[in-house]
Amino acid sequence: MYNYGLIKFKKFGTDELGYLSAIEEMRDIPFHIKRVYFITDVPPETIRGFHAHRVLRQVLICMQGSVTIKIYNGNEKTEIVLDQTDVGLYLGPMTWREMSNFSKDCVLTVLASEYYSEDDYIRDYDMYLKECETFYK
């Protein structure tokens, strides 16, 4: 996989005790974390995303419930179900993403390498494909 991938976090505990997972920047997360946001209460038929980022790097973690992430990296398309608190999905620059099949209780947490900037978004798919030609050459 190029420019995206799954990251497994440490998980401590037992069924009797419960579980604890730890995430450290520059160790588990391959960047300094400048921003954290959460997506909640998404109706099951809603699809979010439909964009890529030029610079932003992110790790998506499903803290509760489940969600499907469709990814396109200019070369291959894949679909990943996030439903574990100790697994993060790394999305690098120029990865197109669509999020669907949100369970009613889904809490999707995102760790981001940059502050919010609308200028970093590519929301037009044709423009994304055009920029991929130079990015992935």
Residues at the site binding ligand T46, with contacts judged by CB under 6 A? 35, 37, 39, 48-49, 58, 60, 97, 110, 116
Residue with tokens 């494909």: 129
- Shortest distance, CB of residue 6 to ligand T46, whole angstroms? 15
Q: Helix, strand, coil shares of the chain as percentages rounded to 5?
A: 10, 50, 40
Annotated active-site residue in 51, 84, 110, 131: 51
Beta strand extents in the chain (DSSP E only) = 4-8, 10-14, 18-22, 35-40, 48-53, 58-64, 67-72, 77-82, 87-91, 96-100, 107-112, 121-122
Residue with tokens 């620059």: 93
Concerning whether 32 is annotated as a catalytic residue, the answer is: no
Residue 11 vs 35, nearer CB to ligand T46: 35
- Shortest distance, CB of residue 16 to ligand T46, whole angstroms? 35
Residue 21 vs 53, nearer CB to ligand T46: 53
- Shortest distance, CB of residue 39 to ligand T46, whole angstroms? 6
Residue 16 vs 118, nearer CB to ligand T46: 118
- Shortest distance, CB of residue 108 to ligand T46, whole angstroms? 7
Residue 8 vs 35, nearer CB to ligand T46: 35
Cα distances from 54 to residues 83, 115, 117, 118, in angstroms, run 27, 13, 11, 11
Instruction: Give catalytic residue positions.
Output: 51
